[in-house]
Amino acid sequence: MNIGLLAVDSNYPNLALMKISSYHKGKGDLVEWYNPFDKYDIVYMSKIFSFTPDYGQYMTNTTQICKGGTGYDISSTLPEEIEHIKLDYSIYPSIGHKTAYGFLTRGCPNKCKWCIVPKKEGDIKPYMDVEEIAIDGRNELILMDNNILASDHGIEQIEKIIKMNEGRMKKIKVDFNQGLDARLVTDEIAKMLSRLKWIQQIRFGCDTPKQIEECEKACAMIDKHGYKGEYFFYCILLDDFDESFSRVNHWKKKGSSRYLPHCQPFRDIGNKSQIIPQWQKDMARWTDRKHLFRTCEFEDFEPRKGFKCKEYFL
């Protein structure tokens, strides 16, 4: 069979398409990225976001279309025989030979009002073992768990990574790229985190004023155990300008390049006509450009000719 893969709205490695590719190649099928001039038996379309446009062309060159991903249906899942298959990294030649992607856990026990994870994945549960992800010599693991510290299995996996690194030349490095929950960092967890090898930074969610304090506490505990690297804070921007600004600016006021916030305007997946307020776009632009954030105050930032962000404070 001829199989076409189409990532509708994201260039980020699409794990579902990588699994589908593996599955079909295992059956001897021909798999390629969708090309409107070829003919297919099945085209798999994956859409991640609900707020992005769908694929705009009418497809007449395939017998079957399979659509999946949160952007089409929040409850869509892969069939069991595909869900746990090895990823086909070859469809993304830009992924280096050291990098691996995966989840050790799925879900989250919390129910933050801006987050779709609990609706999509439910309560936290074990999902994979690190040895199923660190395959074929891949030792830089991008782990996309949503709240790994809320899971006993997740914590056991962190301990396992530390043990696997003992006496090993090519250490396993990690990036929990969806952020950790600072509230769950005890002294014991902090010690564990300080012993991991990080690809770049330790990331935390910092979505409420209370979480600033929790993040500060967690960072201090991890530092106490010898970590000297960077911290990265996901900051959701909700409707309160003053609160959002003071939360994001808290990390600037620390005056150290070790603390870096990252803004994400709230996206309402149930509201296709949602309009993101201009102040959120401007704040995200200011924060997410490292050089700008470090060298310029938000008040002085001029996102458009003749408009300085100090006007937001009037």
Provide, rounded to whole angstroms, the least separation between the CB of residue 124 and ligand SF4. 8
Q: Tell me, residue by residue from 97 to 126, as one string, x for binding to ligand SF4 by CB under 6 A and - for no binding.
A: -----------x-xxx--x-xx--------
88 binding ligand SF4? (CB under 6 A): no
CB of 109 to ligand SF4, least distance (A): 7
Contact call for residue 181 and ligand SF4 (CB under 6 A): yes
Nearer CB in complex with ligand SF4: 76/110: 110
Q: Comparing C-alpha atoms, which of 292, 291, 284, 301 is closest to residue 234?
A: 284
Backbone angles phi, psi at 148, to 5 degrees: -60, -35
146 is a contact residue toward ligand SF4 (CB under 6 A): yes
Rule CB under 6 A: is residue 265 a binding residue for ligand SF4?
Answer: no
Cα 15 to Cα 89: distance, rounded to the nearest angstrom: 9
Q: Is 168 left (phi over 0), alpha (psi -120 to 50) or beta?
A: beta
What token pair was written down for 192?
């564990």
- Whole-number Å distance between alpha carbons of 50 and 45: 14
For the CB of residue 36, give the shortest distance to ligand SF4 in the complex, in Å. Answer: 37
Is residue 165 near ligand SF4 by the rule CB under 6 A? Answer: no
Closer to ligand SF4 by CB, 147 or 194: give it: 147
# chain residues binding ligand SF4, by CB under 6 A: 11
| Smallest gap from residue 176 Cβ to ligand SF4 (A) | 12
CA quadruple 112, 196, 226, 232: dihedral positive or negative? Answer: negative
Residue 182: partners with Cβ closer than 8 Å, 6 or more residues away: 204, 205, 206, 211, 214, 215, 217, 218
Q: Does residue 208 bind ligand SF4 (CB under 6 A)?
A: no
205 binds ligand SF4 (CB under 6 A): yes
Distance between CA atoms of 44 and 37, rounded to whole angstroms? 16
Q: Where along the sequence are the contacts to ligand SF4 (CB under 6 A)?
A: 108, 110-112, 115, 117-118, 146-147, 181, 205
